[in-house]
Amino acid sequence: MTDRLRLALAQLNPVMGDIAGNLAMARKARAEAAGQGADIVMFTELFLTGYPPEDMVTKPALEEACRAALDDLARETADGGPAVLIGLPWREDGKLHNAFAALDAGRIIAVRFKVDLPNYGVFDEKRVFDPGPMPGPVMLRGAKIGLPICEDIWGEEVVECLAETGAEMLLVPNGSPYERDKTDTRLNIAVARVTESRLPLVYLNQIGGQDELVFDGASFGINPGGDLAFQMPAFQEEIRLIELARTGGDWAILPGAKALIDEGLAGDYAACVLGLRDYVEKNRFPGVVLGMSGGIDSALCCAIAADALGPEKVHAIMLPYRYTSEESFADAKACANALGVRYDILPIADAVEGLEASLAPLFAGKPRDITEENIQSRARGTILMSISNKFGPMVVTTGNKSEMSVGYATLYGDMNGGYNPIKDLYKMEVFRMAALRNRWKPTGAKAPGGGVIPENILVKPPSAELRDNQKDQDSLPPYEVLDDILECLVEKEMHVADIVARGHELAVVQRIEHLLSIAEYKRRQSAPGVKVTRRNFGRDRRYPITNRFRDRLEKAYEPDAALAPEGAKSLGEAYDG
């Protein structure tokens, strides 16, 4: 037995599927932990593959590569350095598990399997993994260590089992994606498990962007009694050495540094930066290109891109047509100059008029309408994609969640691109985030500080500028109204009648609900983008494209309990399954 344990927490950014690279990262971290005098170095959930591996994890070749990497790492622990705790997929008795392995003295000394497989929101682990049996603790370096994996602490049973079978502490590897204001939720869950078990808990989370998901790290420790022992930073890699000590038979985490965690829009902005940075860099794009319209969405996307990659890797292009105002020219140039990015002007008149000339024989006698407006957008999209093809930068898509909700976007036009950093932000949040960036520069941002988004962009009425004097509110309710209705429909799944009760007009709510439904086919073809809300389009909200259901009831339906079969306590019980 021991009375003191030095634990190195590797809050790192693995690359999906890069087994050799992740192994090299683990070796480097172990060497650093050894230099700090660590007894154990701990990594995150499924570190060797990256998280979440989705269906890729079912490939036998991936399993074999992970096991070979684990065997190599296990052999290296014969050097007398730190023991290793690390996550990987593991097949046993024909079942594939989300596993966490303990390595020491040149061998694999124990493996534990995730019991509670999440299958909600962005998670669908039951699709690819089998649940493990209830675990007991692992004896490692003189301590009995419980290793519940991520979701295993969101319920009581796994931790209760570990406590009852002799665990002295809980070390929890996580792949917990960022979501606005999720820090308190995690802390509350951890405190609940500590209160029940009376064991100290170390929560280690990965960081980095993986497609739509961003992992924020923000690892922490909770002592019996519920006190926060330490707090690691969010959105930053770090190898943190902590100590646990036994006093009077009970273990506790010794107090350590407590980083401040950005919340709300500041956290969202950091997530958008990290998500875009990792998508571009992990997919090996040399930089990005985007259309710079002089509007708020492209201005914010340009700021995020410059903060993520550095201004030298961002190319902003104004693509004017006859409806582009002098105000937009001035605002786009001022924003690009403030951020220090490359800025070019490529007029689209020849492209638009050439397309219209080609279509003239078929369009003869037809009045001009939204079709011609969309030709402008599609000409811009084609030009941006051509620049991407010729020079290699990824096109950044700049549409917000309000537009994507109601289909106020053009397929193969402004929806073109590889990634959208503001896809999960409603329009009013875009305005607030832009104002925030003007007075605050996040840690690690590579663009200049100060007012990088011109004030005029923040105050002028939004417009697509596809016709004379066009304003977004010609086609949509004011964004303050639209965003509230959309949040009720998308995040909260509220009845139309309940939304009307908040003070909205019935006709407006029903129209927005209809637009939300018929725009599903556009959203299926949209670029991936950072998830920051509880329910983003894509991994969280999956609706059928072909769908005629509309909520047209003026008040919520109340089920008639009298219709339930005799003996049933509720309609739900009667008709379940």
List domains and CATH numbers for the chain. 4-248 (3.60.110.10), 286-471 (3.40.50.620)
CB of 325 within 8 A of CB of 465? Answer: yes
Q: Residue 563: its pLDDT value, please?
A: 54
Backbone angles phi, psi at 479, to 5 degrees: -60, -30
What is this structure's pTM? 0.91
Residue-level pLDDT, tens digit, the chain, 577 residues: 678 999 999 999 999 999 999 999 999 999 999 999 999 999 999 999 999 998 889 999 999 999 999 999 999 999 999 999 999 999 999 999 999 999 999 999 999 999 989 888 788 888 999 999 999 999 999 999 999 999 999 999 999 999 999 999 999 999 999 999 889 999 999 999 999 999 999 999 999 999 999 999 999 999 998 999 999 999 999 999 999 999 888 999 999 999 999 889 999 999 999 999 999 999 999 999 999 999 999 999 999 999 999 999 999 999 999 988 899 999 999 999 999 999 999 999 999 999 999 999 999 999 998 898 899 999 999 999 999 999 999 999 999 999 999 888 899 999 999 999 999 999 999 999 999 999 999 889 999 998 999 999 999 887 776 666 667 676 788 889 999 999 999 988 898 888 998 999 888 888 889 888 888 889 898 899 999 988 888 877 888 788 888 888 655 555 555 555 555 444 333 333 3
What's the pLDDT score for residue 446? 95
Nearest to 234 by CA among 208, 255, 213: 208
- Give yes or no: 150 in active site: yes
Query: Parallel, antiparallel, or unpaired for β 314-318 and 342-345?
Result: parallel
- CB 206, CB 13: distance < 8 Å: yes
User: What kind and span of H or E run contains 236?
Assistant: none
Q: By the 8 A CB rule, do 314 and 305 touch? A: yes
Considering the candidates 32, 64, 95, 114, report the single residue annotated as catalytic.
114
Q: Which of 45, 151, 465, 487 is catalytic?
A: 45
- Tokens read off for 525: 């073809």
CA 366 from chain center: how many Å? 45
- ω into residue 52 within 30 of 0, thus cis? yes
Catalytic residue among 66, 125, 150, 301: 150
Angle at which helices 370-391 and 349-363 pack, to 10 degrees? 130
Look up residue 345 and give its two tokens: 């002007």
What are the helix (H) ranges across 215-295? 264-282
Cβ contact 183:151 at 8 Å: no
pLDDT of residue 568: 45
Q: Are 82 and 241 a contacting pair, CB within 8 Å?
A: no
Query: Under a CB-based contact definition with an 8 Å cutoff, are residues 212 and 530 in contact?
Result: yes
